[in-house]
Chains A and B, each alone.
Chain A
């Protein structure tokens, strides 16, 4: 039942919204509509004189979520229409977000003149552009020569009637921001715990023959702004897709969070009590402005007398936005005895930056399946970057699957944070909790992540939510690993033990 809950959670993501279902129940009765009908008619016209013509399909619907975003479709269409104009062709946007170009196929001579925009060169150009979110099977485009592959193209066009429609994801923060005014008011007045979430990271201990739960040691607890608290309204979600606006809100919370945590430390409050008792380092996400603020200086004074351990997470973007202030902030952290953690590095940023130049204690790399299935040259660049940073300094963040743990260990990374570990922790908590009979794994995960009293109200043992669990108890009960694996991994529940 617990596993079922996780499966639903994963399936609710944007991946399902854009994927075609060729064997869907309604497929046999679907009729071509709009764009698909226009494509079919144009195809039949082109096939009446197929010599020297070609078709190219750009499968944007196969991109990894959150792609395809509106700008992906907009720009790809502009590029293909430019080629269509030069080669007497036409572009057909399909309802699932894919684009099809039918045009004249250039000879070798013309191809040289057109360069990368030639229809035959487009697949390589598009593959490079979309490399960061390339489809899992690598098939971003399909090309048909109409004088030899007419039937294959006809079969493709005919099947398009079965495609589910493309559900537009958020645009790029182009809309009005007036909707954010009430949100700003609520961020400045809401109870601080309602705006925060917490998540524990773990350090995977050596011991390949031991069960996973016997190898987990708590590493730190991160307090972070709940994006969901800001993006509840669709318009707000679109506006906050702008990274600058999101950081404005985060910066606004810095001062309130620091003041609140200072009081919490002084009075042994719920936000810091669990970490202090277990001597677990507490990580805060702060902007540079927050670190140089008087509130931070006051927080440092209280933190020192509390005997707790602290780390401050700063994004590479913030560091690059103001390297001088970053340098000053780093010295303040040194003097405070707080660890510097570089945050928000993704698989592309990893190979484009040198986070070690900031001399951080830890660097958080966001997990993406792209890390594992990138082309050979990108893989080499990723491995080079890991070596330069040092795998002992890397934390694989957003580790939401067994694949993430396997990839991390294969690259010497033993520190992890993410949903998969949240589930492991929740299972261990349930195994050791006397009030957990009616609790689902999902409920326990949600309650432990939240600092809001209203979310935690159903828990009969709330003190346990803030304690890193005794994993050994869970390991001996045998409750954790099989129930924790996402549906796709249910067939290999012991893979981690043999890594």
Chain B
């Protein structure tokens, strides 16, 4: 077992920022105990997986961080030593116990990061996937269920959620540090959940979570439709459900949109929303285009783009995540992005800007 008292996820973020600034070479390993296959998902299996990487504590200046959902990160200075190889071999051994029909690639259980170059990916993993709930907070173990969702929808119908709305810029790489093109506006779902239902993993049930985001959409639109919000706003993007675009709240938002913003608002959609009912999608798409909105596909990857023809769907932008897979195979998207569809590289920190430029990405967004 790792014996030293672990640091929190906040401390890990702090270390990553310092590593970025100083340029210190480090390595990080993230153990996704939450991805253990069902046959190895018992508590003692999680303990075995943690024990498998315990030897990394002996690496040079190793630090141990406890993240949400039982995940563990270890960061150490990159020197010689065989601790990493020993740890990976131990994990292989653990997974070899699985029956043949449940084979699980070890690569899905751990992610390795070279710092500072890949600090952004780890920060994204921590910030956007609930990693900020540190070991000090009680671990939410129960997934969202229908009864809790009913209560959440009722609470959100009246709740003031302005303080949970976040902005992040999309930048155009035009030679300098990058100029903001639009601001992406989204609801910090995990923070709301931590307030309203701290004992639940709100993404534990993906279908009910998607339904919950419709309540977020409606609240965000009602805030935007207020007299002050749109008057001084520049171009922006919203994460929305397709059903929200068809709802009365969107029509009220559209009516309140100043002429100066007509053509400057992008609506970000998920692929599942497009494919749940393609006929409804094409109706909504043609409607919002008529009103001057642009459309963006969220969470696009080579795997998704090989399934969904974004050219036929007539989407203006796609989010492409800056991931180890993309860096290893930067041409994986070739042929999948037609003329007229612009990729926005997401999860990009300053250290990755050069890579983005080198590979022809004009629009980037941070984690």
Contact = CB atoms under 8 A, between A and B. Distances in A.
B207 A317 contact: no
B282 interface: yes
A477 B308 CA distance: 48
A28 B16 CA distance: 80
Contacts of B274: 320, 352
B146 A248 contact: yes
A381 B312 contact: yes
Interface residues of A, number: 66
- For B153, B274, B275, the residue with the greatest tally of chain A CB atoms inside 10 Å of its CB is B275
Nearest to B300: A323
A132 B282 contact: yes
A349 B275 contact: yes
Interface in B227-284: 243, 246-248, 251, 254-255, 270-272, 274-279, 281-283
Interface in B133-152: 146-147, 149-150
Given A71-B246, A335-B101, A244 B207 contact: yes
A357 B306 contact: yes
A320 B38 contact: no
B312 A242 contact: no
Nearest to A75: B287
Interface string B186-227: 000000000000000000011110110010000000000000
Contacts of A358: 307
Q: Is the interface of B mostly helix, strand, loop or mixed?
A: helix
A327 B248 contact: no
A327 B205 CA distance: 19
Nearest to B281: A348
A344 B6 CA distance: 48
User: Which of B103, B146, B210: most chain A Cβ within 10 A?
Assistant: B146
Given A352-B309, A354-B306, 14 more contacts: A78-B254, A116-B290, A129-B287, A130-B283, A132-B283, A172-B247, A176-B153, A177-B153, A243-B276, A244-B210, A248-B146, A324-B303, A352-B278, A352-B312
A178 B150 contact: yes
A174 interface: yes
A245 B100 CA distance: 34
Given A129-B287, A248-B207, A294-B39, A353 B307 contact: yes
B112 to A, nearest CB: 18
A292 interface: yes
20 contacts: A125-B290, A129-B286, A132-B283, A173-B243, A174-B247, A176-B153, A181-B146, A244-B208, A245-B208, A248-B146, A316-B275, A318-B272, A320-B308, A321-B270, A323-B301, A348-B279, A352-B274, A353-B309, A354-B308, A381-B312
Contacts of A335: 100-101, 103
Nearest to A304: B101
Contacts of B89: none
Contacts of B290: 79, 116-117, 125, 129
